[in-house]
Amino acid sequence: MNAAASSGNAVPVTASGQTLAQKLIARASARERVAVGEIVTCGVDLAMFHDSSGPRRLKPMLEELGAQVWNKDRIVLVMDHYVPERDDDSRRIVRIARDWARDQQLPHVYDSQGICHVVVPQHGHIRPGMLCVGGDSHSPTGGAFGAYMFGVGSTEMLGVVVTGEIWLRVPETIQMWWDGALPAGVTAKDMMLHMIGRFGMNGGRYQAVEFAGPAVKALSMQERMTLSNMSAELGAQAGLIAPDDTTAAFLAEAGAPPVDMAPWFTDEGASFTRHAFDASTLEPQVAAPHSPANAHGVSRFANTPVDVAYIGACTGAKLDDLRAAASVLRGHKVAAGVRLIVAPASVRDQQQAQNEGVLQVLMDAGAELFPTACGACSGYGDPMGDDITVISTTARNFKGRMGSPTAQVYLGSPYTVAAAALRGRVTDPRELLQ
C-alpha cells in the first residue's frame, strides 16, 4: 500500500442530514427520510440479470409458484457469461435464456452485446434516484450514476421479479474522499486497488461506500463505473457517486430520459465516516495472487515475469481502458513469448475503439481480439492454463477464477497490464508514458 496516499485514521462526520444512500432508500420506500439500521421495503425500479444468474434459475421457480413477472419493462436480460457458446452446456444455458425472453416478450434483451455492467448503463437503463438490483455481485456498478444498486441471489431475485419489491436494512455510509488529481498513468483501478489493499475485502462490511472529492469528480463516467463496480471487493452493498454534469452528458448520449439530479447528494449535515486520500501521491497499484487485497505500489512487484497480459472485463476493457492500453503500446510490439489478449467490454466500445484507431494500435502490437463477453474473467472461453503468470485488468484474482488453480494472477490497470505486455514483466507504466 502507498501510505502517502491516505490520511490515516477515519474521521466520523455526524449531524442531522441524510447521506446519498439514505435519500435513495427513502425515495424507494416512499419515506421522507430513513435512519441507519431501519429495515424498509423498497420498490424496485430495475431488475437486471444475465444468462448465468437469470432464466435458468428463475424459470423453474416461477413455474412452480405459478407466478407471473411483475413488470416486464423493468427487467433487463443480458447474455454475456456463456456467449459465444462453446459446448453443449453453454448452448443449453443460453437457449433457456433466449427461449424465456421470447416467451415472456421481454422488451430489454441484449444478446452478445457485451458485459451487463457496461451494456445496461450504455443503453440508459440506470439513472439517478433509482433503486436497482442485479443478479451479479458486481451490480454496484450502477451506483456510479447516483442509483442505489446491489447484487442479489436467485431467491431474492425471484421475490423481486414477482412482487417488484425488496427489503433491506438502511446501511451506514463510508465516504472515500479523494483530494488532488491523479498523475498521468494512474487510474480509478489504482484508486480501487489501493483502497482494497488498505481496508481488505470486508472493509465495507455490507455498508454503502460513497466515492467523493475533487479526484473522483474529475473522473470520466467509465472510470467512475470502475470505482462503483469494485466496491463489491470492499464488501460493500453499494458503491455510490453523486451525479453531476458528467453523469448527465453520458446519459444524454445513451438516450436516457432527463431526470432531476439535484436531490442526489450527501448533505453536509449527514452522519457518515470519512477516509481521506491524496490522489496526487498515488502510484500505479498491483494486486498479487490470490486476492485483490494483496495490493501494493507497482514497485513492489517490478520485474515479475508474465506469460499472459489480459485486457478484459467490466473493470478493464471499456473504451477508456482500451485507449489507455493503446497509449502505452502505440508503435511497439509485445515482448517475445508474451500473449496479449484484448476482450472489449461491449460491442459499442469495440466499435468506437475501431473508429478511433485504438483497436488497430492494439492489434498492431500483437493483441489477440476476443469476444465482447465476460470470458476469462469468469473462467469461460479461453481460461488460463497451468503454471503461468497472468497480469489482468479484471476485478478479481481468486485462485482458479480465470482457469487453472495453479495460474498466478496479478491485477493492474490497463496502463500497467499493457506495460507488462510490452516488457514481458511487471513495469511501472509511467516509465513508458514519459
Model pLDDT, residue 206: 82
Helices (H), 271-413: 319-329, 347-356, 358-364
CB neighbours of 185 closer than 8 A, spacing ≥ 6? 284, 415, 428, 429, 430, 433
- Taking CA atoms, 208 is separated from 18, 27, 29, 158, 172, in Å, by 13, 16, 17, 24, 6
Q: Judge whether residue 10 has pLDDT over 80.
A: no
Instruction: Please report, to the nearest 10 degrees, the dihedral formed by the alpha carbons of residues 61, 64, 68, 73 taken in order.
Output: 20
Whole-number average pLDDT of the chain: 94
Report the pLDDT averaged over residues 412-429: 98
pLDDT band at 380 (very low <50, low <70, confident <90, very high): confident
Note whether 20-173+202-275 and 287-433 share their fold.
yes
pLDDT band at 240 (very low <50, low <70, confident <90, very high): very high
How much is the CA Rg of the chain, to the nearest whole Å? 21
Q: Judge whether residue 365 has pLDDT over 90.
A: yes
Residue spans per domain, the chain: 20-173+202-275, 287-433
Domain 287-433 listed as CATH 3.40.50.2300: no
CB neighbours of 306 closer than 8 A, spacing ≥ 6? 338, 389, 390, 391, 410, 420, 421, 424, 425, 426
Half-sphere exposure at residue 217, Cβ-oriented, CA atoms within 13 angstroms: 10
How long a stretch of residues is the chain? 434
Q: Which residue would you say has higher pLDDT here, 26 or 387?
A: 26
Measured between alpha carbons, how far is 20 from 25 in angstroms, rounded to an integer? 9
For residue 393, give the DSSP letter.
-
What nine digits make up the cell of 396? 478479481
pLDDT tens digits, one per residue of 72-97: 999 999 999 999 999 999 999 999 99
pLDDT band at 5 (very low <50, low <70, confident <90, very high): very low
Question: Is the backbone peptide bond immediately before 290 cis, with ω within 30 degrees of 0?
Answer: yes
210: exposed, middle or buried (Cβ count in 10 Å: 0-12, 13-18, 19+): buried
Residue 213's region, left for phi above 0, alpha for psi from -120 to 50, else beta, is left
Q: Judge whether residue 382 has pLDDT over 90.
A: no
Model pLDDT, residue 78: 98
Model pLDDT, residue 203: 75
pLDDT over 90 for what percent of the chain?
A: 90
Q: Judge whether residue 273 has pLDDT over 50.
A: yes
- Taking CA atoms, 97 is separated from 133, 211, 228, in Å, by 18, 35, 27
Model pLDDT, residue 1: 32
CB neighbours of 25 closer than 8 A, spacing ≥ 6? 34, 40, 42, 131, 148, 168, 170
Model pLDDT, residue 4: 35
Lowest average pLDDT, out of 16-20, 224-228, 353-357, 363-367, goes to 16-20
pLDDT band at 381 (very low <50, low <70, confident <90, very high): confident
CB 324 within 8 A of CB 349: no
pLDDT tens digits, one per residue of 294-351: 999 999 999 999 999 999 999 999 999 999 999 999 999 999 999 999 999 999 999 9
Model pLDDT, residue 200: 94
What nine digits make up the cell of 145? 450514476
Instruction: Judge if pTM exceeds 0.75.
Output: yes
pLDDT band at 8 (very low <50, low <70, confident <90, very high): very low
Closest CA to 313 of 247, 372, 252, 251: 372
pLDDT tens digits, one per residue of 148-205: 999 999 999 999 999 999 999 999 999 999 999 999 999 999 999 999 999 999 876 7
pLDDT tens digits, one per residue of 39-78: 999 999 999 999 999 999 999 999 999 999 999 999 999 9
Domain 20-173+202-275 listed as CATH 3.30.499.10: yes
